[in-house]
Structure 1
Amino acid sequence: MDREQAYMRMLGATANMQWNVALILEAKAEEAEKARNWICNHIHTGTFPGDQTQLKQTLVVHDQMVETIEGINKMSQGIVSVLKAVLQKDGEEGQSSGTDFQFGGGFGGGN
């Protein structure tokens, strides 16, 4: 397998991973909507014996959301690493398309 085929396999795997992330996010959104509906219809001020219990339940839900976001962030960082590897190798071989593609806009800052 030559280098170009290896890069294409890396990019194909990255695209599959992005598709799976989209499916995970869709399932999480549906789950969150069901939970929201249940909470709105069943949870009232008298449901919890005290404020501490209510706070604990709220923190459990938020911890689950934070774990999901952290997992997606780690997968996104992996995708960026693959793209950087492919693009840097392409640029080193002198096959650049005339445009300098740089990561670092958006949330990540500079290189």
Structure 2
Amino acid sequence: MSARTKASLRMLTAAAAMQWCVADILEAKASEMETLRDWMLDTVRHSRIKDCNIFVTSSCEFHAQLIDLIHGITKMEAGLAKHVELMLVEEEVLPDNTFGDPGMLGLGGGGDL
């Protein structure tokens, strides 16, 4: 296996490990939001809050936190995808053996100079 292939494999392995970490983050955030939802339903009831605007504002703040998290993760994923795309395009343009067959020097001819 060439050094370029090994480096590509390490990059893909790192990207996969990051995906698992992102999945863990999203799972933890979903659990946190479920707990928050339960707390909102049990504690902060509409009937206990006199001003409807305060109730809606507090609900929107919780949703804004989740949207910010998803937005940040989306940016990170787009960056990772761009790097992997560049790596794959580079692999297609520059294969492991840039000079073609041994002795051919990539000239496409019979090796005569």
TM-score interval w.r.t. the shorter chain? Answer: 0.7 to 0.9
- Normalised by the size of structure 2, how large is the TM-score? 0.73
CA contact (8 A) 1:10 1:82 kept: no
SS of the aligned residue for 1:44 comes to coil
1:46 aligns with 2:47: yes
Cα distance in 2 for residues equivalent to 1:41 and 1:62? 18
Q: Identify which range, 63-72 or 35-44, moves more after superposition.
A: 35-44
Would you say the 8 A contact 2:46–2:55 is kept in 1? no
- Unpaired segments of 5 or more residues in structure 1? 96-111
Structure 1 stretches of 4+ with a deviation exceeding 3 A read: none
CA distance in 1, matches of 2:15, 2:95: 24
In structure 2, distance between residues paired with 1:44 and 1:71: 31
Cα RMSD (Å) of the superposition?
1.9
The structure with higher relative contact order (CA 8 Å, sep 6+) is 1
Question: Take 2:8 and 2:95, find their aligned partners in 1: how far apart are those partners?
Answer: 16
Q: Offset at 1:53?
A: 1.2
Alignment of 1:47-62 (within 5 A): 47-62=48-63
Percent identity of the aligned residues?
33
Q: How high is the TM-score relative to the length of structure 1? A: 0.74
- Deviation track 1:41-95 (CA, whole Å, cap 9, x = no partner) reads 2222233231221122022112101101101101210221122022101211357
Amino acid at match of 2:56: L
Q: State the alpha-carbon separation in 2 of the partners of residues 72 and 6 from structure 1.
A: 25
- 1:26, CA displacement in angstroms? 0.9
8 Å contact from structure 2 (residues 49, 55) kept in 1 = yes
Q: For this pair of structures, how many residues does the alignment match?
A: 95
Structure ID, larger Rg: 2
